[in-house]
Amino acid sequence: MIVGLVLPNAFTFATVVKACSILADLRTGKKVHAQVEVFGFGYDLVVCSSLIDMYGKSNHVGEAHRVFDLIPQRNIVSWTSMITAYVQNGRGQDALELFREFNYLTLDRPNHFMLASVINACASFRLVTGKITHGAVIRNGGVIVGTLLSTSRLHGRVDIAFEASKWLIESNQQVAAAYVILSNTYALAGMGECSQYMRSEMKRNGVTKEPGCSWVEIKDCTYIFYAGDVSSCPRGSEVVSLLKELEVRMKERGYVGGSTGLVFVDVEEETKVEMVGLHSERLALGFGLISIPKGVTIRVMKNLRMCRDCHEAFKVISDIVEREILLLEM
């Protein structure tokens, strides 16, 4: 584009930065950021919001905040992007403090995306929605209700999960997620029959869940992995062998696989652990460990929310192999 003497505008840069964010390509993203400054778009709201999103998803929240600080007149999008970046990096307290600052400094009303991030921030402190009126959340739309549903599963609040799922199903929003998460909430609460009923209702109504997959990018090539699909996994035997070796070393450190993650109803414990061990994100991580040189951050991306068991496993694995591992839920 530039070679053809067609000059990029703010929306061009925002789109390219968004692409870098989706691909977790921080190296290219930084180069684009440099071009943003060269072409004089370093203070543009749209571009800055995209940069904040990219740095937040790449685990560089400090860079995200530096961009945020440079914005002369922030809007609801830039505030939301920064709050979300904090939440994505486990800095719930900073997210809540920034939300309070937003309410103090502006006359804008928070939109449903901002409220969804605030709910996630509250969840990180086991606050759930104690200070947020449930009715107000319901009225603000599916994005917030979906977040509320996920949070209620995390804290075992079957009552809130039921209400949120009912609202989503009746309003025809995130229907598959509503069925699946409510089913898992019941299972976590030891209500196996209710969990099975939700699965049966899901099947009876022809609702299908989006297949989960994870991917890593190595030398400009994207490798995609599916749960339990070792046959199509590049260097599959090596990956499985490495994961089994890591499983042994993790157990030596007190890790118990399959105990904190997604519940599989009516599945034997040994099978449950095996199923968790072959989640798509673990296959992607295994491939990354044997393919990406030491000293380089391994970025694993997934199209759905990762189970808690895999989150805990990745923390232990990162400590064992002494490497930085970045998880991105797209």
| pLDDT tens for each residue of 207-254 | 887 778 899 988 878 899 988 888 888 898 999 999 999 999 998 988
Q: Give one DSSP letter per residue of 118-132, joined into a string.
A: HHHHHHHTT-TTTTS
Per-residue confidence (pLDDT) for residue 19, from 0 to 100 = 92
- pLDDT at residue 113, rounded to an integer: 79
Positions of the chain with pLDDT lower than 70, given as ranges: 1-5, 123-155, 173, 257-277, 330
Q: Alpha carbon of 293 to those of 57, 250, 296, 323: distances in Å?
A: 21, 22, 6, 10
Distance CA 280, CA 217 (A): 14
Distances in Å between the Cα of 162 and the Cα atoms of 51, 139, 328 are 37, 16, 28
Neighbour tally for 88: CB within 10 Å: 21
Return the pLDDT at 114. 81
- Rounded-to-integer distance, Cα 150 and Cα 153, Å: 5
Residue of 110, 111, 84, 103 lying closest to 95 (CA atoms): 84
Query: Residue 1: its pLDDT value, please?
Result: 63
DSSP string of 194-235? Answer: HHHHHHHHHHHTT--PPPPEEEEEETTEEEEEETT--TTSTT
CA 100 to chain centre: 24
pLDDT value of position 198: 86
- By the 8 A CB rule, do 288 and 300 touch? yes
pLDDT score recorded for residue 142: 56
> In this predicted structure, what is the pLDDT of residue 267?
38
What six digits make up the tokens of 93?
Answer: 């307290």
Q: What pLDDT score was predicted for residue 11? A: 92
Q: What is the pLDDT of residue 129?
A: 43
Cα 116 from Cα 109, distance rounded (Å): 14
- C-beta of residue 128 within 8 angstroms of C-beta of residue 152: yes
> Would residue 304 be called left, alpha or beta, if left means φ above 0 and alpha means ψ between -120 and 50 degrees?
beta
Nearest to 22 by CA among 58, 52, 47: 58
| The predicted structure's pLDDT at residue 110 | 77
Q: Tell me, what's the pLDDT at 155?
A: 65
Q: Where are the domains of the chain?
A: 1-102, 128-209, 213-329
- Contact between residue 59 and residue 89 where contact means Cβ atoms under 8 Å apart: yes
